[in-house]
Structure 1
Amino acid sequence: MRTKSQSSLNLKVIFIGSSILILLIIYLARSNISSSSSKPISKTNLSQEEEETQHKPEGCPITTQQCTKMPLSLSDALVHYVTSNVTPQQTFDEVSVSKRVLDKKSPCNFLVFGLGHDSLMWASLNHGGRTLFIEEDKAWIAIVTKKFPNLESYHVVYDTKVKDSDKLMELGRSEECRSVSDPRNSKCDLALKDFPADFYETKWDLIMVDAPTGYHEEAPGRMSAIYTAGLLARNREDGETDVFVHDVNRPVEDEFSATFLCKGYMREQNGRLRHFTIPSHRARAGRPFCPVEVDRRR
Structure 2
Amino acid sequence: MYPSSQQHYSNCKMRPKANQALSSKVLLLGVFLAFLLLFVLRSSLSLSKENPPPTSRTIVPKASHSMKQAKAANCSPTCTKIPKSLAQALIHYSTSTITPQQTSKEISVSAKVLEKKSPCNFLVFGLGHDSLMWSTLNHGGRTVFLEEDEAWIGQIQRRFPMLESYHVTYDSKVNQADNLMDVGRGPECTAVGDPKYSMCQLALKGLPSEIYDITWDLIMVDAPTGYYQEAPGRMTAIYTAGMMARNREEGQTDVFVHDVNREVEDTFSKAFLCEGYMKKQEGRLRHFTIPSHRDGSERPFCPE
TM-score by length of 1: 0.88
Q: Structure 1: where are the runs of 5+ without partners?
A: 41-59, 293-298
Partner of 1:6: 17
Percent identity over the alignment is 59
Q: Partner of 1:241: helix, strand, or coil?
A: strand
Following the alignment from structure 1 to structure 2, what is the Cα–Cα distance between the partners of residues 4 and 19?
21
1:188 aligned to which of 188, 200, 224: 200
C-alpha RMSD of matched pairs (Å): 1.7
Return closer, same or farther for 1:64/1:184 CA change in 2, 3 Å cut-off. same
1:167 aligned to which of 156, 162, 179: 179
Following the alignment from structure 1 to structure 2, what is the Cα–Cα distance between the partners of residues 99 and 37?
29
2:215 aligned to which of 199, 203, 224: 203
Kindly state the Cα deviation for residue 87 of structure 1 after the two structures are TM-superposed: 2.7
Q: Which runs of structure 1 show a deviation greater than 6 angstroms over 4 or more consecutive aligned residues?
A: none
Partner of 1:130: 142
Q: Partner of 2:129: helix, strand, or coil?
A: coil
Tell me the alpha carbon deviations over residues 83-132 of structure 1, each in whole angstroms, 9 at most, x when there is no partner.
11113110011001101111110110000000000011101111111111
Kindly state the Cα deviation for residue 187 of structure 1 after the two structures are TM-superposed: 0.9
Following the alignment from structure 1 to structure 2, what is the Cα–Cα distance between the partners of residues 162 and 4?
21
Contact 1:7 1:87 in 2 (8 A): no
Kindly state the Cα deviation for residue 73 of structure 1 after the two structures are TM-superposed: 1.2
Q: Structure 2: where are the runs of 5+ without partners?
A: 1-8, 53-71
**Residues 1-298 of structure 1: matches in 2 within 5 Å?**
2=10, 3-4=14-15, 6-7=17-18, 9-38=21-50, 63-64=75-76, 67-292=79-304
Contact 2:204 2:236 in 1 (8 A): yes
TM-score by length of 2: 0.86
Contact 1:236 1:281 in 2 (8 A): yes
Tell me the alpha carbon deviations over residues 200-224 of structure 1, each in whole angstroms, 9 at most, x when there is no partner.
0001000000000111111100000
Kindly state the Cα deviation for residue 141 of structure 1 after the two structures are TM-superposed: 0.7
Following the alignment from structure 1 to structure 2, what is the Cα–Cα distance between the partners of residues 105 and 287?
25
Following the alignment from structure 1 to structure 2, what is the Cα–Cα distance between the partners of residues 178 and 109?
25
Contact 2:15 2:100 in 1 (8 A): no
Tell me the alpha carbon deviations over residues 40-80 of structure 1, each in whole angstroms, 9 at most, x when there is no partner.
9xxxxxxxxxxxxxxxxxxx975339632211111111111
Return closer, same or farther for 1:135/1:33 CA change in 2, 3 Å cut-off. same
Contact 1:177 1:190 in 2 (8 A): yes
Computing the radius of gyration from Cα coordinates, the structure with the larger value is: 2
Tell me the alpha carbon deviations over residues 142-175 of structure 1, each in whole angstroms, 9 at most, x when there is no partner.
1111111111111111100011111000100111
Q: Partner of 1:215: helix, strand, or coil?
A: coil
